[in-house]
Amino acid sequence: GQNIDQPTEMTATEGAIVQINCTYQTSGFNGLFWYQQHAGEAPTFLSYNVLDGLEEKGRFSSFLSRSKGYSYLLLKELQMKDSASYLCAVRDRRGANNLFFGTGTRLTVIP
């Protein structure tokens, strides 16, 4: 089966750095994704990791350790508009399009 865990809620201050963790246990692994979802809107793609290490994309970075079943999303220089839910998703080995999502982490950025 698949089990993906992330904290339910986090709060951070504008301008700060926040790390959102995701741990997973899946029957197979073929890539990990992070999505951002603002309230009432559709998720939008943030990052993708399939090999161990850090992927950096502007203010956002994502890290993966396959041996530990662990990923984190790092958001730097937080802005108020970063208040959103952040969804961790794992693609298993079965198919090109079989994604399993965590329940999401609701991030609130305060002034």
Partner 1 sequence: EAQVTQNPRYLITVTGKKLTVTCSQNMNHEYMSWYRQDPGLGLRQIYYSMNVEVTDKGDVPEGYKVSRKEKRNFPLILESPSPNQTSLYFCASSFRGAGGLDTQYFGPGTRLTVL
Interface with partner 1 by CB under 8 A: which residues? Answer: 2, 30-31, 33, 35, 41-45, 48, 50, 87, 89, 95-104
**Minimum CB–partner distance for residue 7 and partner 1 (Å):** 13
Indicate the SS3 state at residue 81.
Answer: helix
CB closer to partner 1, 15 vs 28: 28
**Minimum CB–partner distance for residue 15 and partner 1 (Å):** 29
CB closer to partner 1, 14 vs 41: 41
CB closer to partner 1, 69 vs 104: 104
Q: What is the CA radius of gyration of the chain?
A: 13
State the CB neighbour count (10 A cutoff) for residue 98: 13
- Whether the CB-CB separation of 30 and 50 falls below 8 Å is answered with yes
**Minimum CB–partner distance for residue 14 and partner 1 (Å):** 27
List of residues 6+ apart from 81 with CB closer than 8 A: none
